[in-house]
Structure 1
């Protein structure tokens, strides 16, 4: 108000001069702001050109990742499940979807009742989804399988141009090794992947160590690609006398590494000669059971000596009253214990496999019909997420994508062979592609890993395969490729 009064007291010429100066000053400020904005953008762009790949991305703000470092499986989206289950895809909600104009069904006011078609996402949305690597491998396995039906004098691979492109595209998968540390939910995913590709799977430890609860492998011979599953029997640091499975002789992960995993250690080593290409790990399902059994034994130390009828009666009563830890959160001391042991497990894995080996925590799934009984699992998943953020590890968010699909379970606990196992396989291959040097962003391949030796079965090369120039020393620096985007994908824990 004072400024307006002073301005009114001035002569028309003085007022005009002051207003002109103010306009010039405003334009100058605007110019400076634009220059600063351009400098910031230029600085962002200049920092996004990587080695010799020509990969470039744009960061919309200083705190957001380069575009090609955005993890589509961590972003909100839609699980598209078509009739052909192998074509299941995770479709992220890209900006183009969020910015789409409203359909006529959303108009207001209106007297027309909205009607909706049961149609798949538009082709332009599906084309932006992460690549369907499992479908590629199924088709590739079919091509190579065809070689065994040809006579020795015939052309072994008579490929169309699309088939030849497919063979070139999947070349990077040859000779890779993936290690999964977890429970039977993970083991089933490995088994289903193997079945989809007609591979062979078996336990790699004898039954005297615990049968399926030991080490397990899936091998795809045409690819020399192998996934190993090492069973984790909870975070308990010893085997309590009340342990519910007599064939489990070793419980602590330290003991299992020494007695079960060490004898098969060399199997998981990949081309770099030191470590697997990628590691997934988790623990929760067996911890939940151990906490329940511990609480039961504390309340009924002689429970194991009861006859079957008495034991069943007591178990029914515990379920009804909430005793036995069923239907309750973890006690705070249980949570502290799990936090400490999981932290030790992370450090133990890094000690064994090295600081730079790509590792991901597989978030925990819940029961088919999730109830209060899942509260301990949810508690353990939350504290594990907080630890991953603390230790700088990324999260394999398959459980979040699977949430709610109860009809896809094969029993009350285990997810079955179908759309969710296809999603697991595609996610696994997406992260393996990234760990070995590839970049898959917005439905496009921006970079491929170095080609490697290929097309070998039973020691013999497959004739007439597409020619691919293979470097004398393929780059196997998985930690370098992984670290390119790692820092942008670790700040999401404690939820």
Structure 2
């Protein structure tokens, strides 16, 4: 009996070990293995497909990383993939960051000239792990794998597919100016997606450009509204906002409808530079001047007119696609000129207020890149540079959110829920982001 009694715990332990091993194997199978090819350099995130939550040290929170203080990380000024906005969730004054290099107890004034600050090493993981997903890098890795016929690539392709499945049949609409068209073209060209040009007016300041990224049947459309009001510059077509919507955009509204059959999955718009051009040109005519002054502060009446113009544009979009369609206002990137566009800066501030009143969230791209004028290809357009990659990462962060995806402090804590409507997914954090909106 004693011998038999001694065997009972052993069997129990053996059974427990088997169950534990099975559970561990199951858990590990849910984790996506990382590799140099399918993860943004420097960090990875535990994710799963479907509508399940995964374990994370971060709770389910509504945090927009692009609304947090941070900095733009780039390997070089010409890098394509490895670019990210790095929020300062972990304060730079925290002890672990003060110990990144051995200061040997010297005071700050003795180490400020320490050449060990250089070279420009990759940010420490304590910072980088909090950076939002580099979607552009994942997209490019997927395309590179898809274009390779080798069998060894197929596994990596499947792994990447579990992260990007939610892009299938999505639609993005961007309403803006040549800055937006340049950014959209960069995204399309990066995936060899040919661009189709729709009807334009005689001066080409109002235009339509569409591309489709075949790997996911992802449609991206840009509508350039062009000059505003009935007073355009020399050689530009004199048409009102309503006339342009009726003539160019309403007839093509169906081409940007996504899988839901009613609307795009996300709309991003702004009117900053064309609005600025209108007001400075009107002022020049008013004073009978020969030179346009971009450094003049607009008066209150001009700000009122501009906010009414924004409201009219938002109303047009909502009338076309429904009130609950996710809409973002992209803050204006200032000009690469001596004045840098004081008028546009003040119009942008008025737009922030209008968006708060009109229940529209803000994509602060213009604020993040403000000051990076050496990355421009001309006075207004951003060159082929890390700033374009940053724009793509931001856009896909918002697009991921429209599909029910949740990212918290660099962790993809929830993948897209294909059973949720776009409006329901967007509204999970919408009220929080509107409450936190800074004007």
Per-residue deviation, residues 367-414 of structure 1 (Å, max 9, x unmatched): 12452x511101110010011111221110111111111211111221
Which residue, out of 160, 178, 190, partners 2:172?
Answer: 178
**1:343–1:201 Cα change, 3 Å:** same
Aligned to 2:153: 159
Per-residue deviation, residues 193-214 of structure 1 (Å, max 9, x unmatched): 1111111113111x55543631
Q: Secondary structure at the match of 1:86?
A: coil
Per-residue deviation, residues 78-97 of structure 1 (Å, max 9, x unmatched): 11111443111111111365
Aligned to 1:478: 422
Per-residue deviation, residues 187-238 of structure 1 (Å, max 9, x unmatched): 1000011111111113111x555436311112212221111111122442xx
Q: Secondary structure at the match of 1:85?
A: coil
> What is the CA RMSD across the aligned residues, in angstroms?
2.6
- Whether the 8 Å CA contact 1:203–1:211 is kept in 2: the answer is no
Structure with higher RCO (Cα < 8 A, 6+ apart): 2
Counterpart CA distance in 1 for 2:154 and 2:351 is 48
Counterpart CA distance in 1 for 2:196 and 2:108 is 62
Count matched residues: 381
Aligned to 1:444: 411
Q: Which runs of 5+ in 1 are unaligned?
A: 1-50, 60-65, 148-155, 301-313, 319-323, 451-473
Larger deviation, residues 346-355 vs 402-411:
346-355
Aligned to 1:120: 122
Counterpart CA distance in 2 for 1:110 and 1:298 is 55
Aligned to 2:36: none
Per-residue deviation, residues 257-294 of structure 1 (Å, max 9, x unmatched): 11000121111101111010000011121121112222
The CA deviation at 1:245 is 4.7
**1:299–1:227 Cα change, 3 Å:** same
Whether 1:108 and 2:101 are equivalent positions in the alignment is no
Aligned to 1:53: 52
Per-residue deviation, residues 395-435 of structure 1 (Å, max 9, x unmatched): 10111111111211111221112100000001001100011
Whether 1:254 and 2:254 are equivalent positions in the alignment is no
The CA deviation at 1:100 is 3.0
The CA deviation at 1:56 is 8.6
Counterpart CA distance in 1 for 2:205 and 2:186 is 15
Q: TM-score, normalized by length of structure 1?
A: 0.71
Aligned to 2:29: none
The CA deviation at 1:351 is 2.3
Aligned to 2:33: none
Which residue, out of 80, 89, 94, partners 1:85?
Answer: 80
Q: Secondary structure at the match of 1:295?
A: helix
- Whether the 8 Å CA contact 2:66–2:87 is kept in 1: the answer is yes
Which residue, out of 224, 244, 248, partners 2:233?
Answer: 244
1:332-411 aligned within 5 A: 332-369=300-337, 371=339, 374-411=341-378
- Whether the 8 Å CA contact 2:183–2:388 is kept in 1: the answer is yes
**1:361–1:110 Cα change, 3 Å:** closer
Aligned to 1:487: 431
Counterpart CA distance in 1 for 2:272 and 2:216 is 33
Counterpart CA distance in 2 for 1:100 and 1:260 is 57
Counterpart CA distance in 1 for 2:85 and 2:438 is 24
Q: TM-score, normalized by length of structure 2?
A: 0.80
**1:119–1:423 Cα change, 3 Å:** same
The CA deviation at 1:247 is 4.9
- Whether the 8 Å CA contact 1:218–1:227 is kept in 2: the answer is yes
Counterpart CA distance in 1 for 2:171 and 2:297 is 37
Counterpart CA distance in 2 for 1:420 and 1:289 is 24
**1:294–1:494 Cα change, 3 Å:** farther
- Whether the 8 Å CA contact 1:174–1:223 is kept in 2: the answer is yes
Q: Secondary structure at the match of 2:341?
A: helix
Counterpart CA distance in 1 for 2:221 and 2:366 is 20
Q: Secondary structure at the match of 1:475?
A: coil
The CA deviation at 1:449 is 1.6
- Whether the 8 Å CA contact 1:388–1:490 is kept in 2: the answer is no
Which residue, out of 223, 226, 231, partners 2:224?
Answer: 231
- Whether the 8 Å CA contact 2:60–2:413 is kept in 1: the answer is no
**1:393–1:370 Cα change, 3 Å:** farther
Q: Secondary structure at the match of 2:435?
A: coil
Q: Secondary structure at the match of 2:148?
A: helix
Larger deviation, residues 78-87 vs 377-386:
78-87
> Which of structures 1 and 2 has the bigger CA Rg?
1
Larger deviation, residues 325-334 vs 127-136:
325-334
Q: Which runs of 5+ in 2 are unaligned?
A: 1-49
Counterpart CA distance in 2 for 1:109 and 1:244 is 55
